Amino acid sequence: MYSRSQQLFSRAQQSIPGGVNSPVRAFKQVGGTPLFIKKAKGAYLYDEDGNQYIDYIASWGPMILGHAYEPIVEAIREKVYDSTSYGAPTELEIEMAELIKSMVPNVDLIRMVSSGTEACMSAIRLARGYTGRNKIIKFEGCYHGHADSFLVKAGSGVATFNIQTVPGVTAGVSADTLTCAYNDLAAVQQLVEANKGEVAAIIVEPVAGNMGCILPQPGFLEGIRSLCDAEGIVFIFDEVMTGFRLAPGGAQEKLGINADLVTYGKVIGAGMPVGAFGGKRAIMECIAPLGNVYQAGTLSGNPVAMIAGFTLLNELKAKPEIFAQLEEKTAYLHKGLDEVLSASNVEYSINRLGSMISVHFGKHAVVDFSTAAACNIEQFKTYFHHMLRSGIYLPPSAYESWFLNNALSYEDLDKTIQATNAFVS
Ligand SMILES: Cc1ncc(COP(=O)(O)O)c(C=O)c1O
Ligand SMILES: NCC(=O)CCC(=O)O
């Protein structure tokens, strides 16, 4: 069933570290051979062995309308004939910035980059340059890309592989990253108090997706907002996953909280390598060439990537019913999974907001990294492989959110619920 993927994985390991270009693809927590994907269309992935899978990863978020969405494919096809890069400004970049601003009203200025990592890395440099302070606060189990400052108690692959300290990140850099538990407002307040006048930024995943899906408890983000206002700290929402997914205006709109800076990633390139950071004019004006906070990129605002993202965001703006449809589908899956799991003796809890969802194998509430880590990872592994054999592709780690796409049909969701039922019965 996986023989060609197995062959390709052996071959890949001869020339690519661990056979993969990003560690989370390696199936290291769940075991087995990563699937080598040949193509995808709509809600389905096809591997090199010809197996078809219902995809709940969606390229880790961006495939909101499904894979190879026709208008996006056409827009890219047309654009690419005009060259793949100029390294010079284009009208399309202005249109993209204007479109984002129209969907996220508190963004005054926005700068394009090429990944979520770059967006978050640039946002904290900017916050430091703006405030003249060095320290940042991030939350255990949150992942903001692989820039040095973020690889402290990070989620995603760092948590999956249980990497406590990342060799190569200097103690000096790590010392400026303060951490506390997600949803623990009192701990944030204490940390700020103990480092008064030294904290440049608090960066948060407004809905966490890198320790499984974890929701902000009521008052958590609101409390940080007030704290940042009182202490002159830049509040950064990392919306690399949530932006344009939870609502047209992302988590800011869905949760009704304004950040000072917001970062975006893969979603705004519809899966092409894009990221962006934006926000309040007074802060954004510190960026070069207006200010001296230097930040740059040869491929930033790349025309092919821009047209892909622009087409996706335009669709989302023009058809807000997509968000309701996605929400309904995810709620249907949530209800169905809940029914089959509650009828079994499996201990579980399901976290969901909008089209982000995950099943945690533990009956306690999962509200932060410790409670996520206290779940039954062995059971997740067995579940993952059972689902894979059933033609359902879940993230290969208990510390990743699932992402639904709007190409999923109710039959696909039923199949997912039935496969889960078969797992527990
Ligand atoms: C919330 C969040 N921030 C930042 C990143 C980093 O983005 P990239 O992998 O594009 O560098 C990711 C995931 O990749 C993410 O999930
Ligand atoms: N939660 C994991 C990601 O979103 C990124 C995937 C990767 O690092 O390859």
- The ipTM, to two decimals, is 0.98
Confidence (pLDDT) at 27: 93
Mean pLDDT computed over 241-254:
98
* Residue 327: band (very low, low, confident or very high) from pLDDT cuts 50, 70, 90: very high
pLDDT given for residue 294 in this prediction: 98
Q: Which helix (H) or strand (E) holds 190?
A: helix 185-194
Cα separation values, 296 from 122, 287, 292, 348, 369, Å = 9, 10, 12, 45, 34
Tell me if 60 sits within 8 A of 356, measured CB to CB: no
Nearest residue CA, atom 8 of ligand 1? Answer: 116
pLDDT band at 388 (very low <50, low <70, confident <90, very high): very high
- Cis peptide preceding 395, ω within 30 of 0: no
Give the pLDDT mean for 3-10.
97
Smallest-distance ligand from the CA of 240: 1
* Mean confidence (pLDDT) of the chain: 97
**Ligand 1, closest atom to CA 120?**
4
Contacts for 316 with CB less than 8 Å, ≥ 6 apart: 64, 103, 244, 248, 322, 323
The protein residue with its alpha carbon nearest to ligand 1, atom 7, reads: 116
Is 70-318 a domain of CATH 3.40.640.10? yes
Report residue 389's pLDDT band, with 50, 70 and 90 as the boundaries. very high
Predicted local confidence at residue 75, as pLDDT? 98
* Maximum separation of any 2 CA atoms in the chain, in Å: 62
Q: What is the mean pLDDT of residues 365-371?
A: 97
Residue of 150, 266, 299, 356 to mutate, ligand 1, most atoms within 8 A of C-beta: 266
Which DSSP helix (H) or strand (E) runs through 253? helix 250-255
- Which residue intervals of the chain bear CATH 3.90.1150.10? 3-68+320-424
Q: Mean pLDDT across the stretch 119-126?
A: 98
Residues lining ligand 2, CB < 6 A?
22, 24, 60, 143, 156-157, 210, 400
Q: How far is the CA of 190 from the centre of ligand 2 (A)?
A: 31
The minimum-distance atom of ligand 2 relative to the CA of 60 is 4
Cβ burial 55-76 (10 Å sphere, 16+ → b, else e): bbbbbbbbbbbbbebeebeebb
| Letter string b/e over residues 330-357, b meaning 16 or more CB atoms within 10 A of that residue's CB | bebbbebbbebbeeeebebbbbbbbbbb
Q: How does DSSP classify residue 36?
A: P
**Whole-number pLDDT of residue 373:** 96
Task: Please name which ligand lies nearest the alpha carbon of 243.
Answer: 1
CATH class, domain 3-68+320-424, is alpha beta
| Location of each CATH 3.40.640.10 domain in the chain | 70-318
> Cα torsion for 329, 268, 70, 321, to the nearest 10°?
40
Query: Which amino acid is it at 294?
Result: Y
Closest atom, ligand 2, to C-alpha of 25: 9
**Active-site residue list:** 143, 238, 266
Which of 27, 60, 146, 403 is the best mutation target for the ligand 2 pocket, counting ligand atoms within 8 Å of the beta carbon and taking the most?
Answer: 60
Q: Are 351 and 344 in contact (CB under 8 A)?
A: no
Q: What is the band of 401 on the pLDDT scale with cuts at 50, 70, 90?
A: very high
Ligand whose nearest atom lies closest to the CA of 358: 2
Distance CA 164, CA 167 (A): 10
Q: What's the pLDDT band for 289 if we cut at 50, 70, 90?
A: very high
- Distance (angstroms) between ligand 1 centre and the Cα of 154 equals 11
Strands (E), 61-140: 109-113, 135-139
Tokens standing for 177? 């990253």
Rounded to the nearest whole angstrom, what is the distance from the C-alpha of residue 224 to the centroid of ligand 2? 26
The set of residues, in sequence order, having a beta carbon less than 8 Å from that of 146 and lying 6+ positions away, is 117
pLDDT of the residue at 118: 98
Cβ 217 vs Cβ 184: under 8 Å: no
Q: What percent of the chain has pLDDT over 90?
A: 98
HSE-CB at 227 with a 13 A cutoff on CA atoms is 25
